[in-house]
Structure 1
Amino acid sequence: MSGPAREVDDALLRAWPLPAVEPDGDKESRGRVLVVAGSREMPGAAVLAGTAALRAGAGKLVIATPQSAAQTVAAGVPEARVIALPEASDGGPSFYGLPLLQALAGATAALLIGPGMIGRESTIEFTQVLLPVFKQCPVLLDALAMDCVHAVSRFAQPVILTPHAGEMAHLTGHVKEDLREQAIDVALRHSARWNAVVALKGAETAIATPDGRSWLHRLQAPGLGTSGSGDVLAGIVAGLAARGAAPEQAAAWGVALHARAGEALARRHGQVGYLARELGAEVPALLHALERGG
């Protein structure tokens, strides 16, 4: 099904609507997101990602974070159930926490792993063990969790990866500057290789599927290059997936909503200086406007 990349613009999004919100539905009908994120050094990443998932319309949120970060995360996201995971010596999650998450597998509509996590080895190992447990739902790998591609090589389930150019260079061995110039080709090649939807982030974000479909989103928004912005994007995509969007649709809509949130803040505050924590609050109105055709 390969062909030229389609432009992600308002017309495409309106012709590709998200799963409808049931008028008489409740939080269960919009799906539960499980966010495995954060660390003693970066508890805020779990807060940003989890909040963004709710802003994208997910119905329920569970955040699993290392024990040293749990109290901070719980205070930052009072809407979430927070699970304190035992920590490995490097600050990542320990296998002793696995039973706490296994119990959630059947009721989880989307899983996000990675934002703000530390401890490369323990994070990779924990991610590898979680993947087959959550094989029934889309899984988004972000930040350090993406490093498991070196161990897994090819995924056996729906997985979304959201690397920026520097992360993609680390994952593939390509030169960072070449990735920007060949974003679509690189995303397509590695999407097929990994059996994953790949959203290669940048001023031009390339989104590719293993069967050869691709999309391109263009936006010059320097303010989005700020700490925590990628955590928000990952949360938005996970929230949309929990609502029932296919992985490629969740990625395309998530990239577009994240970019438009940056545009809205830039109009009010200037090109740079707005904060990642402010992005999520823009998303509900942007969703409403796109769904109404406004």
Structure 2
Amino acid sequence: MIISGLSKRKLSSIVLFFVLVLAGCLIFAQWSNRENYFSAVQTIGMTWLCLLLILSLLNYLLRIIRWQNYLRFLGANLPVTLSALIYVAGFALTMTPGKTGELYRGVFLKTYGVTYTNSTAVFVSERISDLSAILLLTLLGTFHQLHWFMIISVIIVAAIISLFLSLHTKFPLKFLGNLSRLIHLSSKTGRRWLTLLKEARRCHSPRILISATFLSLLAWSSEAFAFYLLLYKLGFSAGLLFAFSVYALATLAGAISFLPGGLGGTEAAMAGLLLMNGMPGTQAIAATVIIRLTTLWFAVFLGVIALVLGKRVLVSGTEEQGN
């Protein structure tokens, strides 16, 4: 396994090097837009900026609770503070396609006895739960924007297929067997995927599924509500349902684009939807810049801080296992 061959110091160095290089590249890439960021923040003032950040913190808190529930359901009883630290540290790797970098949380969990299979199952379950919540928020738009019906219908069909594959084992098992033979996967690799599917399915019992979906809905609603308040502050009172649906659709667009953190896809969809509904260009850009600054970039910032300041705790399990 990855951990067994690495000392605490080596693991810490590898993680920090990767994150700092990634952060440096992203900061450099965004530096050309610094004037947009500064002017956008000045538009709403520090008080409103802090309010938006608080709502983002609420989003993270609810997702941490969901994450902890998943871990406990799979038998991993980590202290809440340690679990929260690992979860927030994962935000440092959010800027990867499909947020797959957050799988690195499994490396830290492994040092505390949580298998990679379980941590990956939790990651998959989180993505499905997020998808369900975002879809529910998107559906709010159908109450006042009927021309979005076809787009939403396609998304719902895709979600139903995804949920079917994750909640039922017979079809994935048959598919996995056929795929293994087709691409000549080893039986060991096939068994690993099978185990992962089974563990992910355990996370979708009715009780945990309802709880996770509820927490996800509250979590993403907090950021969508922040978007509504931002539009209001910028003088564009289009209504709560409109703000929720635009935020949800833009988030989906970013996820579907499979770009790191949804960069480009989310911003284009959000600004485009605002412009299509009559918001002036300057305000639409300001709204897009500010909400991304207080959600995506705030999460990455907290992740890097958690990773740097909490590195000794995050990898201390390695040292304990070696003693």
Both structures adopt the same fold (TM-score exceeding 0.5): no
Q: Which has the higher contact order (CA 8 A, sep 6+)?
A: 2
Structure number with higher helix proportion = 2
- Work out which of the two has the higher radius of gyration on C-alpha atoms and give 1 or 2: 2
